[in-house]
Chains A and B, each alone.
Chain A
Amino acid sequence: MPVVTPNRSSELFGEHLRGIWVRTDRMFAGLMLFQWFAGIAVALLIAPKTWEGEFSRTHLHVWAAVLLGGVFTALPVALATTRPGSLVTRHVIAVGQMMTSALLIHLTGGRIESHFHVFGSLAFLAFYRDWPVLITASAVVGADHILRGVYWPQSVYGVASIEPWRWVEHVWWVVFEDFFLVISILQSRSEMSGIAERQTRLEASNTELEAFSYSVSHDLRTPLRHISGFSAQLQRHAQNSLDDKARHHLDQIVRSADRMGRLIDDLLSFSRMGRSEMQRATVPLGPLVKEAVQDLHEETKTRRIDWTIGPLPEVKGDPAMLRLVLANLLSNAVKYTRTRTEARVEIGARSANGETTVFVRDNGVGFDMQYVDNLFGIFQRLHSAEAFEGTGIGLANVRRIIHRHGGRTWAEGEVDEGAAFYFSLPTTAEGGR
């Protein structure tokens, strides 16, 4: 079990939280600009003009919406743009947002319905998952209700005179909402630290895995090199003093060491395949297949192979990995049709139900369907290495790559009647682990 360092854990937690702050700052910048324009629209709609004696002029509310709204919006938006994620920005936004609520309440003549803007704003501020922001916001609401309740009750309660304790009732509802928002913030923060801890553990185990495969790569290969190197020395220098049987055994040692070397290499490439970063690109399969066929030229030039390549679509994925998938499937098709005087290999694709399915079909030696589940396992083989060379890593790599793309692999076959290998990839750019 890898050790979880509390420092890394809190670092990840901090990163996550800062990301949320920055995103929420940006969201408020947009929201507050929208509210500013909406406030002006409300003012224009309700009372664009007023009478002063016999003259008509622009209503004071319109000016209030433009100027006060502008003041309440400008500083928060400026800070959200220049200092996103900082403590000051959050609290200034909280103040600005609550002042905007106050302005909108005023513009609607203190209608009780417009007070709900306060509750909506508090819920939005809870997005920060930083409860002191709610305290700042609530303090502004409380102060506003008390002061306007004393000097201009019409503006906030919509009536000319009110009971002196009316603000207590309003503030109580704010505190009531705050209570639940704070609980929800504390809950999601505790979940976030859980995520951070898991991530730390994952990073630690990845580092361990990294060290493990490095050690495999270096330490397992070293004695193997000695076996192979000194056997070769023996072959060179003791050739004449050895009888046929001894020479044969020596030959077996050399070949086994060689095979183990390849197995180690394959195992490492398989483990690297699972860990390496995945690219996301649009990959046209047609050219990829053409390349894979060309790469097999050395093996196919002396054989009769009838290639049928259907129209192939573009897919989303990692080009290098998908090239490896096709190279593996095509080289298998070529390998297992070796016994045929005329080999047939067909490659095609179809798209349906949100996925693209690609198949490679051959008329080779095929396989028994009862072993189909073994096919994609690591170092699993259905033929002896003498009949068909290989370590059994190819299809394991194919499956791992396709799974990382969020797709599936399967196969159909019959002994001596050929085989067909399929893989599907989601057409939407989902998946990618």
Chain B
Amino acid sequence: MNTAKRILLAEDSTNDAELTLLALAEQDLAGNVTRVCDGAEALEHLARAAGNAGQDTRPAVVLLDIKMPKVGGLEVLRRIRADERLRTVPVVMLTSSREDRDVAESYRLGANAYVVKPLDFDEYLAAVRKVWEFWAEVNEVASPSPR
């Protein structure tokens, strides 16, 4: 596993970010996280990562909140999928919305998974573990032939 690969966490709520980091810490992953506070920052970060020629600095997985200031998560997702260099980056929607239209729209735009932030911390841990397993799987498939 390439540990240099990072997780990009786009989350406007400091409390939520902290809880996610706590859950990631349980998987020894907190050190790999870059946190941005809104969609615009997320896009900036991704543009920089994608523009870095020679070295693959794209995040291994993007955890996207949907309701964020400036640019919402769905719009970030749409732009990631429209960008030639970012198209293959796995995106997990990590949101408190369980509205059908958000779920449907996320998958329509090409999200790889949709996780509703649970109220219970143990559930939160389980959810993050699932995301981690998903990440590991994606990287294993992708690593023999890096693009």
9 closest cross-chain pairs (CB), A and B: A232-B121, A226-B15, A261-B119, A229-B19, A228-B119, A229-B121, A221-B96, A218-B97, A218-B96
Once the chains are docked, how many angstroms separate the CA of A212 from the CA of B99?
12
- The answer to whether B97 and A217 have CB atoms under 8 Å apart is yes
State the Cβ distance, B2 to closest chain A Cβ, in Å: 30
B99 partner residues in chain A, CB cutoff 8 A? 214, 217
User: For the complex, is B13 an interface residue (Cβ under 8 Å from A)?
Assistant: yes
Query: Which has the most chain B C-beta neighbours within 10 Å: A218, A230, A233, A257?
Result: A218
B48 partner residues in chain A, CB cutoff 8 A? none
- The answer to whether A232 and B122 have CB atoms under 8 Å apart is yes
Could you jot down 20 A-B contacts, CB within 8 Å? Answer: A214-B97, A217-B96, A217-B97, A217-B99, A218-B95, A218-B96, A218-B97, A221-B117, A225-B19, A225-B117, A225-B119, A226-B13, A226-B15, A228-B119, A228-B120, A229-B19, A229-B124, A230-B19, A232-B121, A258-B120
User: For the complex, is A50 an interface residue (Cβ under 8 Å from B)?
Assistant: no
Once the chains are docked, how many angstroms separate the CA of A261 from the CA of B120?
10
Q: A233-B121, A258-B119 are in contact. List 15 more A-B contacts (CB 8 A).
A: A217-B98, A217-B99, A222-B15, A222-B16, A222-B96, A224-B119, A225-B16, A225-B19, A226-B19, A229-B15, A229-B22, A230-B19, A232-B120, A232-B121, A233-B22
Chain B positions 35-88 with a Cβ under 8 Å from a chain A Cβ: 67
B22 partner residues in chain A, CB cutoff 8 A? 229, 233
B interface residue numbers (CB < 8 A to A): 13, 15-16, 19, 22, 67, 95-99, 117-122, 124
Chain A positions 196-226 with a Cβ under 8 Å from a chain B Cβ: 214, 217-218, 221-226
Mask, A88-124, CB within 8 Å of B = 1, is: 0000000000000000000000000000000000000
A222 partner residues in chain B, CB cutoff 8 A? 13, 15-16, 96
Q: How many residues of A contact B (CB 8 A)?
A: 17
A218 partner residues in chain B, CB cutoff 8 A? 67, 95-97
A229 partner residues in chain B, CB cutoff 8 A? 15, 19, 22, 121, 124
B118 partner residues in chain A, CB cutoff 8 A? 225
Once the chains are docked, how many angstroms separate the CA of A222 from the CA of B11?
12
A interface residue numbers (CB < 8 A to B): 214, 217-218, 221-226, 228-230, 232-233, 257-258, 261
Chain B contact residues: helix, strand, loop or mixed: loop
B15 partner residues in chain A, CB cutoff 8 A? 222-223, 226, 229-230
**What residue of chain A has the Cβ atom nearest to residue B118's Cβ?**
A225
Once the chains are docked, how many angstroms separate the CA of A284 from the CA of B122?
42
**What residue of chain B has the Cβ atom nearest to residue A265's Cβ?**
B98
State the Cβ distance, A103 to closest chain B Cβ, in Å: 59
Once the chains are docked, how many angstroms separate the CA of A221 from the CA of B118?
9
Once the chains are docked, how many angstroms separate the CA of A221 from the CA of B98?
11
A230 partner residues in chain B, CB cutoff 8 A? 15, 19
Query: Which has the most chain A C-beta neighbours within 10 Å: B22, B96, B119, B121?
Result: B119
**What residue of chain B has the Cβ atom nearest to residue A224's Cβ?**
B119
State the Cβ distance, B123 to closest chain A Cβ, in Å: 10
A228 partner residues in chain B, CB cutoff 8 A? 119-121
**What residue of chain A has the Cβ atom nearest to residue B15's Cβ?**
A226
B67 partner residues in chain A, CB cutoff 8 A? 218
**What residue of chain A has the Cβ atom nearest to residue B101's Cβ?**
A214
A223 partner residues in chain B, CB cutoff 8 A? 15
A217 partner residues in chain B, CB cutoff 8 A? 96-99
**What residue of chain B has the Cβ atom nearest to residue A260's Cβ?**
B119
Once the chains are docked, how many angstroms separate the CA of A127 from the CA of B99?
44
State the Cβ distance, B117 to closest chain A Cβ, in Å: 6
B98 partner residues in chain A, CB cutoff 8 A? 217
A257 partner residues in chain B, CB cutoff 8 A? 119
Once the chains are docked, how many angstroms separate the CA of A224 from the CA of B118?
10
**What residue of chain A has the Cβ atom nearest to residue B117's Cβ?**
A225
Once the chains are docked, how many angstroms separate the CA of A223 from the CA of B16?
9
Once the chains are docked, how many angstroms separate the CA of A424 from the CA of B138?
54
B96 partner residues in chain A, CB cutoff 8 A? 217-218, 221-222, 225
Once the chains are docked, how many angstroms separate the CA of A233 from the CA of B23?
10
State the Cβ distance, B100 to closest chain A Cβ, in Å: 9
- The answer to whether A221 and B119 have CB atoms under 8 Å apart is yes
